[in-house]
Chains A and B, each alone.
Chain A
Amino acid sequence: MAMTTGEKWFQGFAVVLSASLSLAMIYPFIHMISISLSTPAEALRPGIHLYPRELTLDAYQKALTSNGMWYGFQNTIFRTVVGTFLSLVFMSMAAYPLSKKDLPDRNFFMMFIIMTMFFSGGLIPTYLLVKNLGLFDSRWVYVIPVLFNTFSLIILRNFFMEIPSELEDSAKIDGANDIRTLFSIVIPLSKPILATVGLWSAVMHWNAWFDALIYVQDQSKVVLQVFIRRLIVENQDLEIMKMMDDQKSLNAETVKAAVLMVATLPILLLYPFLQKYFIQGILVGSLKG
């Protein structure tokens, strides 16, 4: 399609503008990757860092051998894998009955669940509840209190409702009960939606930090995000900010950058999937919302 001169100018303007915006958005990440791979002396050089001029993996070695980092990594992987898996199992179990129109008292059960989107006991009552349940300083505090997500549950239920009942009937004729039918017929048919909901859950778990901050004191059970927070955010008051600027202890900057990269890398690796499934998710959500 031929463009007029005015159109060409306009396209040029739009391209330059959005290119500079995306550059501004991605620069912090490039900077961080570059610093994490640089020698301490190079890392301290002010100005733009697009690539490491003096390449070294020292910072990663230092980061990955520190105890806190290691514990954090293990616990984060535990909650991401186990938490996501159990969420999918338990949410499918609940979504399946709710997808059946003839389920007795279905509307009541739905209300019971949906109502929780509109209120909460608040931080303090929830905190005391978790304490009374004996979940403090346990890895299960990362899994059990976030086992269900109402939005995901409803998305799952809506998907199950679309599955033709003939497919389930054939299993029933063979003598399977509802539980068998769910696990042998319905769940295998629902892989796309389970992938979507599973990725939401996995990203939530990977990024979660507040529950670990308030419920867990034991340093060997803390998650990666909290380790990063302790390292970078919590020593960030004005006093230290000024001090760090004057006399930066050498390795600190590169190690911090390496730690941040370790937390970012899995997200980058999964990025193509994340984009696809998350976008589907908000478009589905917007239709319902």
Chain B
Amino acid sequence: MATDRIATKGRQLIQTHFRNRIAAYVKYKYMILLLLPGLIWYGVFFYAPLYGIQLAFKDFRIMDGITGSPWIGLDNFRTIFRASSDFSTILKNTVLISFYHILFGFPAPIILALLFNEIRFKVFKRITQTISYLPHFLSWVVLSGLLITILSPSSGIVNELIKALGFEPIYFLGDQRYFRFTLVISAIWKEVGWGTIIYLAALASVNPHLYEAAVVDGAGRWKQTWHITLPMIMPTIAIMFILRIGGILDAGFDQILNLYNPVVYEVADIIDTYIYRVGIGQLQYGITTAIGLFKNAIAITLVLGTNYIVKKLGQEGLI
């Protein structure tokens, strides 16, 4: 008897729930209509490609398509991780180039922001800041056009300078020894000014009384920077650093694809450029999808790990 009553009650609850739900959808029918194109778009352009990930476990044949191609288990991954494959080179290049970008490119905007922050002449400060943002708004296609001219071994201004100082001209874009260096410097050129904005915002919020107190205590400029400014912007630095680590397998696809050439493939081919070159260029869909899957798996792990750390540090996470 009692169970019957509970069952009836439960059914009623579920019915009311669905009725309310339907009523809500009817009430919001125009809203749902507005939302629908967006949901369909996300379904098609983000969720549908997930179906294609099965290519990582298939031997892709154009005639058979994604669904018809035969399953080959982990063969693609075995091929990738064979010692003789290109994968070890591209993984090494990716991590190394990314590491250099972080080592030199990460502190650069912090240092520049500290420099901008010290300048008292407002107009001058504005002009230099404005100039430093410019390369951020241009594509790597245009910027590499500029770089090719500037870095040309015979007529480029940089090599003119090097020659004037009595050294041999350098093939920045065609010499394996210098190519990664060129990547790091040119990436700093593009993004350092833009990168200062977030730190300048953090610097602007430092309480000026702290400096006054430090001056009373006899602290000089370096001591003020070291003991007040840096600790005060450290939370911003920490967040930016953690976010940067999350993207360690992104070593600058746009930049490299526009600057490199076969002579420097050995030191500059990264995961993304390899997937493009070999996947789309040589129709090796299976292997390159497997490499892409490997990269995405690591990226998701890093992003989730990062998110966890950010939350642990008491900041608002992404999810």
Contact = CB atoms under 8 A, between A and B. Distances in A.
Given A237-B263, A263-B142, A245 B120 contact: no
B213 interface: no
B145 A233 contact: yes
B49 A126 contact: yes
Given A48-B157, A233-B145, A238-B263, A15 B124 contact: yes
B1 interface: no
B67 to A, nearest CB: 11
Interface residues of A, number: 99
A25 interface: yes
B145 A260 contact: yes
A169 interface: no
B289 interface: yes
A17 interface: yes
B128 A32 contact: no
B280 A124 contact: yes
Nearest to B52: A125
Contacts of B47: 116
A121 B49 contact: yes
Contact of B157 (A31, A122, A263): A31
B230 to A, nearest CB: 17
Contacts of B66: 128
A96 B25 CA distance: 16
B71 interface: no
12 contacts: A11-B121, A18-B128, A90-B41, A98-B35, A119-B50, A121-B49, A122-B292, A123-B272, A238-B263, A263-B138, A271-B137, A275-B133
Contacts of B120: 3, 11
Given A29-B146, A236-B148, A283-B197, A225 B38 contact: no
Contacts of B261: 236-238
B170 interface: no
A145 B31 CA distance: 23
B152 to A, nearest CB: 6
Given A214-B280, A263-B138, 19 more contacts: A14-B119, A17-B115, A25-B189, A31-B146, A94-B39, A102-B28, A104-B28, A122-B296, A123-B292, A133-B44, A153-B38, A177-B30, A206-B139, A229-B141, A232-B144, A233-B148, A260-B146, A264-B142, A278-B137
Contacts of A35: 149
A28 B130 CA distance: 16
B289 A124 contact: yes
A119 B118 contact: no
A2 to B, nearest CB: 12
B49 A122 contact: yes
Q: Nearest 4 CB-CB pairs, A to B?
A: A121-B49, A125-B52, A94-B38, A122-B292
A195 interface: no
Contacts of A126: 45, 49, 52
Contacts of B139: 206-209, 225, 263
Contact of B149 (A32, A113, A275): A32
B162 interface: no
Interface in A233-264: 233, 236-238, 241, 244-246, 253, 256-257, 259-260, 263-264
A222 B97 CA distance: 31
Nearest to B48: A129
Interface string B146-158: 1111101111010
Contact of B300 (A31, A119, A256, A283): A119
Interface string B123-135: 0110110111111
A274 B51 CA distance: 38
A22 interface: yes
A112 to B, nearest CB: 6
A255 B272 CA distance: 32
A276 to B, nearest CB: 11
B141 A104 contact: no
B319 A260 contact: no
Contact of B193 (A25, A47, A147, A233): A25
Contact of A25 (B46, B48, B135): B135
A153 B142 CA distance: 29
A203 B137 contact: yes
Nearest to B253: A210
Nearest to B133: A275
B243 A148 contact: no
A29 to B, nearest CB: 7
Contacts of B44: 129, 133
